């Protein structure tokens, strides 16, 4: 694959990559965005200041906003990549011949490669279970975790064998720990508000998380998760979850900050039930009930900022936490609609 070969060459040519393991580089492929231009084609591109552009194949002419022009080849950018200007400034790229280009998101690369190196250091320096490290490395629960918390998270996890029929958490009961399924499948059972019956709402498998909703809301479990087959779960006690996972990933904003974000066209998401939304909601928001959030995650734009709200701030805290794990920039409205002082932004008007 061209991009893999190119990245291996970068490791040899560019000082930025010299100390990065090949494994870390390959795990970071998602932040190397490639695109092609045919001879004579032109594109205007921009990024965050400091992002880098590499020519993988071919030759291009680059025109900066100042009007300066330069011709670049793979040899030129492997040692000295072209740096992006700050948006809204753009670079105009004209393909002198058929070309493949690579845009590197430097901040994301630094985080992902640092994460991989941290796991490698832990693997080398202590006797932790390899399977546990690999599960943590790929789980959404840990992919957005600040690097300085990773080793504490590894130390705080323990593996528990489970049997088919075991209930990991039970509806209406206290949550004892945060769990990640290591092996096996489980079913989620919830009380249907329409029929009043207990219904199976989804199945979970390796890497899926259990219990974070109730822990963040400081409530009893809203559902039962029961194993469908023999397997194993990784468990982290509630206090450690709050210290290591919840605190770094969950951000709450005061109403006045949320109002400023609204004025700057931030996306507002109401995670209450449809009936609550219809009674009163913030103008222009989208209603995505909390129980539907994961099913509708494709509707969220990773390049946009979201304010998530509910009645009191408890459900929105869960939603913001889950979205942050998915690399969606989301914050929770502190105090929810109960503490929202801007009646002019509510409809129907209160």
Answer yes or no: do 136 and 229 share one domain: yes
Burial of residue 237 (CB within 10 Å: 0-12, 13-18, 19+) is middle
pTM (global) more than 0.85: no
Of 68-77, 150-159, 261-270, the range with the lowest mean pLDDT is 150-159
What is the pLDDT averaged over residues 29-39? 79
- The most confident of 43-47, 120-124, 234-238, by mean pLDDT: 234-238
Is the N-terminal amide bond of 348 cis, ω within 30° of 0?
Answer: yes
Contact 204, 188 (CB under 8 A): yes
Q: Which of 8-12, 34-38, 172-176, 254-258 has the lowest mean pLDDT?
A: 8-12
Assigned domain for 187 exists: yes
234 within a domain of the structure (yes/no): yes
Assess whether pLDDT exceeds 90 at residue 227: yes
Q: Are 142 and 122 in contact (CB under 8 A)?
A: no
Task: Please count the structural domains in the chain.
Answer: 3
State both tokens at 123.
């693997």
Predicted local confidence at residue 123, as pLDDT:
59
Structure tokens given for 193: 């508000």
Rounded to the nearest 10 degrees, the angle between the axes of helix 130-138 and helix 106-125 is 170
The burial class, CB within 10 Å (0-12 / 13-18 / 19+), for 190 is middle
> Of 247, 276, 297, which closes a domain?
247
Provide the β-strand partners of residue 306: 267, 330
β-strands 60-63, 32-37 pairing: unpaired
The predicted structure's pLDDT at residue 285: 96
pLDDT at 264 over 90: no
In a domain, 62, yes or no: yes
CA distance 330 to 308: 7
Say if residue 270 is in the same domain as residue 286: yes
Do 200 and 307 reside in the same domain of the chain?
no
DSSP string, 177-213: EEEEEEES-EEEEEE-TTT-SEEEEEEE-TT-EESHH
Report yes or no on 142 lying in a domain: yes
Task: Note whether 236 and 256 are same-domain residues.
Answer: no
The whole domain housing 259 covers 250-347
Q: What would the mean pLDDT of 272-278 be, rounded to a whole number? A: 89
CB atoms under 10 Å from CB of 73, counted, come to: 15
Asked, for residue 56, whether it belongs to a domain, the answer is yes
pLDDT at 296: 92
Helix (H, G, I), strand (E, B) or coil at 319: helix
115 is a domain residue: no
What does the pLDDT read at residue 2? Answer: 59
Answer yes or no: do 238 and 263 share one domain.
no
Specify the higher pLDDT residue, 169 or 34: 169
CATH number at residue 222: 2.60.120.10
Asked whether residue 85 is domain-assigned, the answer is yes
More confident site: 50 or 95: 95
On whether the CB atoms of residues 272 and 311 are closer than 8 A, the answer is yes
**Average pLDDT, rounded, for the chain:** 82
**Same structural domain, 243 and 267:** no
User: What confidence tens digit (pLDDT) does each residue in 112-125 have?
Assistant: 555 566 666 655 65
Whether the CB-CB separation of 136 and 130 falls below 8 Å is answered with: no
Strand partners, 305: 329
Give residue 210's pLDDT.
93
Pick the last residue of a domain from 76, 108, 140.
Answer: 108
Supply φ then ψ for residue 62, to 5 degrees: -110, 125
């Amino acid at each position: 694959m061209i991009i893999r070969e190119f990245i291996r060459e970068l490791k040899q040519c560019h000082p930025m990559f010299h100390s990065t393991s090949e494994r870390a580089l390959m795990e970071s492929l998602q932040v190397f965005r490639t695109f092609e231009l045919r001879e004579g084609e032109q594109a205007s591109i921009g990024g965050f200041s400091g992002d880098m552009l590499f020519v993988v194949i071919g030759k291009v002419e680059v025109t900066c906003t100042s009007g300066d022009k330069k011709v670049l080849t793979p040899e030129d950018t492997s040692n000295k990549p072209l740096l992006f200007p700050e948006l809204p400034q753009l670079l105009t790229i004209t393909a002198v011949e058929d070309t493949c280009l690579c845009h590197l998101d430097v901040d994301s690369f630094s985080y992902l490669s640092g994460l991989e190196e941290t796991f490698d250091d832990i693997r080398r320096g202590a006797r932790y279970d390899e399977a546990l490290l690999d599960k943590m490395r790929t789980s959404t629960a840990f992919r957005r975790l600040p690097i300085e918390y990773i080793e504490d998270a590894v130390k705080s996890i323990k593996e528990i064998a489970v049997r088919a029929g075991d209930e990991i958490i039970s509806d209406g009961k206290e949550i004892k720990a945060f769990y990640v399924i290591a092996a096996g499948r489980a079913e989620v059972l919830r009380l249907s508000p329409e029929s009043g019956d207990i219904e199976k709402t989804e199945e979970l498998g390796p890497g899926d998380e259990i219990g974070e909703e109730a822990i963040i809301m400081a409530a009893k479990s809203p559902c039962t998760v029961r194993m469908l087959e023999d397997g194993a779960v990784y468990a982290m006690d509630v206090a450690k979850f709050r210290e290591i996972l919840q605190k770094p990933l969950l951000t709450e904003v005061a109403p006045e900050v949320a109002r400023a974000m609204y004025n700057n066209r931030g996306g507002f998401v109401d995670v209450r039930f449809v009936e609550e939304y219809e009674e009163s909601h913030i103008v222009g928001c989208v209603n995505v009930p909390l129980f539907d959030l994961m099913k509708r995650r494709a509707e969220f734009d990773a390049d946009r900022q979201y304010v998530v709200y509910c009645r009191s701030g408890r459900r929105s805290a869960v939603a913001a936490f889950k979205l942050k794990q998915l690399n969606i920039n989301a914050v929770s409205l502190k105090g929810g609609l109960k503490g929202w002082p801007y009646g002019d932004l509510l409809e129907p008007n209160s």
